[in-house]
Every structure is written in C-alpha cells, then in structure tokens.
Amino acid sequence: MKKVELDIYGIAPSQIKGSYSLILSEIEGVRKLPIIVGQFEAQAIAIPLEGINTERPLTHDLFVVFAKKLNFTITEVFIHLLKEGVFYASVICESAEEKTTIDCRTSDAIAIAVRFNCPIYTTETILEQAGIEIEDTSIQKPGRDNSDEPPLSEKNTSNKYKDKSVDELEEMLEAALRNEDYLKAAQIRDEIDKRK
C-alpha cells in the first residue's frame, strides 16, 4: 500500500454549524483532503500552530508530557481508512524497546502530530476517494505566512474589531484565553499584531 504524505493546508469554517473543515494537502501534489472536525478539535490543532500559550495544558499537551516521561515518541500519524464518510487514523509510537500502533480519532491524531512535529500520511486510495483540488487562498493557514493575501482570521476580524482600541482588544484577548476560546484569541491577537 502506497503512503502519501500530507501537510496541514488550512482550517476553514464549515457549512455545518459549530464545525470546521481541516484541509490536509498532499506534499507532492495538488489534491486536498477535507476532514470535518468540531470547534474544540479545530482549536486543539490550531493552538500549537498559532503559537498560543494556554493557561492550563490541554489533553493533547498532557499526552506529550506522558510520552516524554515514559520515553516514547510519535513517529507518524496514518489515516488508513475511510468508511461511510468517517476517517480512521492511527498514531505510531516508538520507544527503545518497541513500536506500537494506537487507534484514535483523526482529529486527535493530527493534534498530536502537530505537537510532535511528525509526518501525517494517508493512502492513495483514500486520496482518490475523498481528495479534491481547490485553489481557495482564503483558507486560514495556521502559524504560517500566507504570502501577500491576509489570512482568513484577519479578513474576518478586520471589520469585527476595527472599532475596538488596542486596550479593549487586549482585554478581549485575556477573556478569550480564560474561556479557552483559542480560535477567537488567535483572531484577536492577529488584529493586535496588525496594528503594531
């Protein structure tokens, strides 16, 4: 079975209320793999990419602590099955003594992959079944410079926060972090950075 390496292309609001499209892109090609995830799952993936520090560790951060204490690492994430519209993934763990495969939700696997900076793979078959070609430059590419085009977060917040002062924005940022609304915090932070 041929594995195809993927990268996180972006995160965009989905047409389904309260959900997001996590877009993965094949590294050596043009196909994209959209995966619908919930708001909290999208936040768990975006937080480390955006460089946001949370007051308390999230579940995936706790997993990293366990891994380090138990001397194992995550070497790859493998999206190996698409069944009835649901993606199935595995996390491949390695220690000095053994290599283990753990089944998990795809969104959790990707949130862990981001924290371990490990590759994400899928199969050619899955890309043939669910892959699409899109050229939407408005999709937010978390934690990356999106060339001359402002990221989606800036487009959405420029009107929303334009009447707010920097002091008001900083208060809103603190409130968003306290409420663990990290996507909103990233948008507010981007607006503050844009004004500096």
Contacts of 62 (CB under 8 A, 6+ apart): none
Give per-residue pLDDT as tens, 19-58.
Answer: 888 999 999 888 999 999 988 899 899 888 888 878 788 8
Residue of higher predicted confidence among 120 and 164: 120
pLDDT band per the 50, 70, 90 thresholds, residue 149: very low
Lowest model confidence (mean pLDDT) among 16-30, 92-106, 175-189: 175-189
Q: Which domains does the chain possess?
A: 3-130 (3.10.690.10), 152-195 (no CATH)
Residue carrying structure tokens 């993934």: 89
State phi, psi for 49 to the nearest 5 degrees.
-70, -35
Structure tokens at 160: 């929303």
Model pLDDT, residue 133 = 82
Structural contact between residues 87 and 81, judged by C-beta atoms closer than 8 angstroms: yes
